Amino acid sequence: MCGICGFTGQIVDRNETIKNMTDVITHRGPDSDGLFQDDYISMGFRRLSIIDLDGGTQPIYNEDKSLVITFNGEIYNYKILREQLIKVGHKFYTDTDSEVLIHGFEEWGEEMLPKLRGMFGFAIYNKNDGSLFIARDFFGIKPMHYTLIDGNLVYGSEIKSILQHPDFKKEFNEKALDSYLSFQYVVPPETFFKNVYCLLPGHYMWFKDGKITTTRYFEPTFEPDETLTEEKAVDEIADVFEDSIKAHKIADVEVGCFLSSGVDSSYVSTYFADQKTFTVGFDFGEKYNEISWAQELSKEIGVEHHTKIIGSEEFWSTVPKVQYYMDQPLADPSCIALYFVSNLASQYVKVVLSGEGADELFGGYTCYNVPRSLKPYSIVPFPIRRAIGKLAEKFPKVKGRAYLMRGGKRLEERFIGNAFMYDKKQKQALLKKPEIATDPQNLCKPYYDRVKDYDDITKMQYLDINLWMTGDILLKADRMSMANSLELRVPFLDKEVFNVARTIPTHLRVNSENTKYAMRKAARRRMPEKSAQKRKLGFPVPTRVWLKDEKYYNVVKKAFKSATAEKFFNTDILVSWLDGHFQGKADNSRKVWTVYVFLVWYNIYFGDDDKINTPNLD
């Protein structure tokens, strides 16, 4: 696991620039660094040694050194591909998966990508024709960002590398603030830095003669097999997941596992007998502390379990550090908890497995139940439901009102993903520049248009895979683990697992009994019933409790009255939301937290135009 960066073209102090770009992501790879330069390109690399500890230093070359690669990720089927390449004449000088990529690209070109099983973001430079090929993995587990400066490409695993380029003009992207306020993250490929983009999951790009072309090589489509019986579906899930776990445990260093009380990480942890698992929680009762659940399961499956209680002061003081490492603001407070559990694990192991992706692939989120709950209401003609829903909006908040409101809207109108913060009207009222506010549904429409024939539950999964999972789940997983020089692997987001998940009938994903129905049945074969069937909690963080504490209420209120807040927001609205929450009039915690996190992030990256105001990282 590593970090990569680079740029094309001649500039003053090229050597110092590529060194700065590489040094700023040392946390991604503290074990060693690497550099390639010729008259056209500078490529930097930081390494976290996982496979071929002695021989895996990058850059890596093909036989005649005409191709050069820097690579971030893991290829789990690299040994199989290596054998295929040796049979057709390729000669290897390392035992790394990195070298398999360079020979594979030489042999198959872009057609190599569908052959890979793993997570990756890599750059391959061709000395002969001056072209640069960059690819990102199927689901976006590993990141890749880029920008053009006067016809030259600058790229990196993290945006902070790009900011080190002396010719890059740092400008705030207002479009990103608009989407962030609705989704709690900026919707890719946009970033908060104007003209910096992320390469989308399942895409590759070519850069040649000053031009970028991007191509999608993978799309996570669903094709339910309605002939699949429950028993057969559960068998297939159990078999493919065990195979994925075996592949994801390949390493030349010790591998551990995150463990919460949920079925996803619990299922993964059942393959870690006599190995280490890690859990964190808060001292606010069982609702915000899954440690007792995790400890109980740990005893049953025989793992060495490590835990940490996160204190209130510790949490709040870490917010700036987390937002620095994130590169962009993320209002999901669980990213801070993820930082702490990554830090805990990094004291014992270099690699962990985690449960990300199970909900999106197998239908785990509670909101996926909504289409099923609305089905009886669908017998009422939609125009009538629409009228009733409009009327219900004017009702006081009584039981059944939300149901009628949801029933009066089509899925494409009401669902933008797993987190919905502000709609267009709320943003217009809040922002000093209301003209930048847009309907969040506009960003979802291209995805919905691609899956018009799917049922509503599968449409929701498809949207979450492309937006929520990329913009929130995998972003925080990569940044928080890498901030602690820890490699995080996600066995649910294996392409072979997805090939099974995409065929599971909708009623075996979400039904009246549970979400992730078939997957839970597979997990039940390896763990107690109560763990396999436990209701999903996410990663609960007590922000709503803290915002009723005078100490933290005042921390946020100070931010809401700051010059930065005045620059973007009508602060009287912010303060009224904060006060309303503090006084117990309404639960405004998520809306308050979303803006607070943005203000913390902005002061780090834009508080001083000339530099990054790096918080204390010790």
Mapping DSSP onto H, E and C, the string for 513-538 reads CCECHHHHHHHHCCCCHHHHCCCCCC
pLDDT tens-digit profile of 381-402?
999 999 999 999 888 888 899 9
- For the chain, count helices (H), then strands (E): 28, 17
3-state secondary structure of 119: strand
Amino acid at 428: Q
What pLDDT score was predicted for residue 463? 98
- Tokens 């933290």 belong to which residue? 552
CA torsion through residues 382, 383, 384, 386, sign: positive
Q: What pLDDT is recorded for position 22?
A: 97
Position 539 scores a pLDDT of 66
pLDDT at 55: 66
Give the Cα separation of 363 and 416 in Å (integer).
16
Structure tokens at 242: 């065990």
pLDDT of residue 287: 66
The residues of the chain scoring below 50 in pLDDT are: none
Show Cβ contacts of residue 169 under 8 Å, excluding neighbours closer than 6 positions: none
| 3 state DSSP class of 592 | helix
Q: What is the pLDDT of residue 536?
A: 59
Pairing of strands 203-208, 211-216: antiparallel
Maximum distance among all alpha carbons in the chain? 74
| 3-state SS assignment for residue 81 | helix
| pLDDT of 1 | 60
Percent of the chain exceeding pLDDT 90 equals: 87
Closest CA to 118 of 59, 58, 77: 77
CA atoms within 13 A on the CB side of 601: 22
How far, in Å, are 182, 359, 388 from residue 443 at the CA level?
Answer: 11, 22, 27
Instruction: Indicate which residue of 2, 5, 198, 257 is catalytic.
Output: 5
Query: What pLDDT, on a 0 to 100 scale, did the predictor assign at position 50?
Result: 79
Active-site residue 257, yes or no? no
